[in-house]
């Protein structure tokens, strides 16, 4: 079987299996999985806010980065073993399909990465249906958890550390929905300044590409 063509690894019906007697959920690759509810996420965010106050968004981002780094390692390890070939030897079309499949299959939403901008040193990202899109500290609009997850995940595959900056949010009615840009730290400072000046995502991308 040519497993290189199996690009629905994470959305395949056999991706998850439950051992009812032991109460253990595992992936096809044998990784133990944990299913959590929206109520759990709300409780987690509320606990962070109760304990850390205004620092809660920072903590959520740090938690996301920690998780994203480990998610990328599992993503690569499971696919390497399953397909019998290195993930890094696949084409970009295959990598993109598998990345989208990971996000969708694990319930993280629908991820769209503009890879064409990579040659200019940054990656625009759009995320739809994030499980955190309606969950966050009171009075704060931002998907800090997934900002951290994207930062940690892409650090594994990019040449050097990357910073993830959120450039739009669906809840604020932004035209492009919930968007982010991954870039090296120096470029990220420029992006953060443009966000502070209320430039929309598309305008920021245009400025960076100029």
In 3D, which of 119, 123, 105 has the Cα closest to residue 33? 105
Q: Where are the alpha helices (DSSP H) in 56-131?
A: 56-83, 92-105
The residue extents of the domains of the chain are 3-209
What is the model's pLDDT at position 5? 54
What is the model's pLDDT at position 21? 80
Domain 3-209 indexed as CATH 3.30.1380.20: yes
Tens digits of pLDDT across the chain (210 residues): 344 457 899 999 999 998 878 889 999 888 899 888 989 998 998 999 899 998 998 999 999 999 999 999 999 999 999 888 899 999 999 999 999 999 999 999 999 999 999 989 999 999 998 888 778 776 676 889 999 999 999 999 987 788 999 999 888 888 888 999 999 999 999 999 999 999 999 999 999 998
Residue with tokens 């929206």: 38
What is the model's pLDDT at position 1? 39
Inter-residue contact 115 to 91 (CB < 8 Å): no
């Amino acid at each position: 079987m040519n497993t290189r063509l199996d690009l629905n690894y994470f959305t395949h019906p056999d991706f998850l299996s439950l051992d009812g007697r032991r109460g253990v959920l595992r992936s096809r690759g044998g990784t133990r999985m944990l299913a959590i509810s929206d109520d759990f996420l709300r409780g987690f965010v509320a606990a962070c806010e109760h304990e850390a106050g205004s620092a809660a968004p920072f903590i959520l981002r740090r938690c996301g980065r920690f998780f994203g780094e480990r998610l990328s390692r599992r993503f690569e390890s499971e696919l390497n073993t399953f397909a019998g070939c290195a993930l890094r030897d696949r084409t970009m079309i295959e990598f993109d399909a598998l990345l989208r499949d990971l996000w969708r299959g694990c319930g993280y939403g629908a991820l769209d990465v503009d890879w064409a901008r990579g040659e200019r040193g940054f990656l625009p990202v759009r995320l739809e249906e994030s499980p955190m899109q309606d969950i966050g500290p009171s009075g704060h609009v931002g998907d800090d958890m997934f900002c951290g997850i994207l930062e940690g995940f892409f650090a594994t595959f990019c040449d050097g550390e990357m910073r993830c900056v959120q450039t739009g949010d669906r809840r604020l009615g932004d035209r492009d929905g919930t968007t982010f840009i991954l870039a090296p730290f120096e470029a990220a400072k420029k992006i953060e300044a443009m966000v502070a000046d209320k430039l929309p995502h598309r305008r920021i991308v245009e400025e960076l590409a100029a």
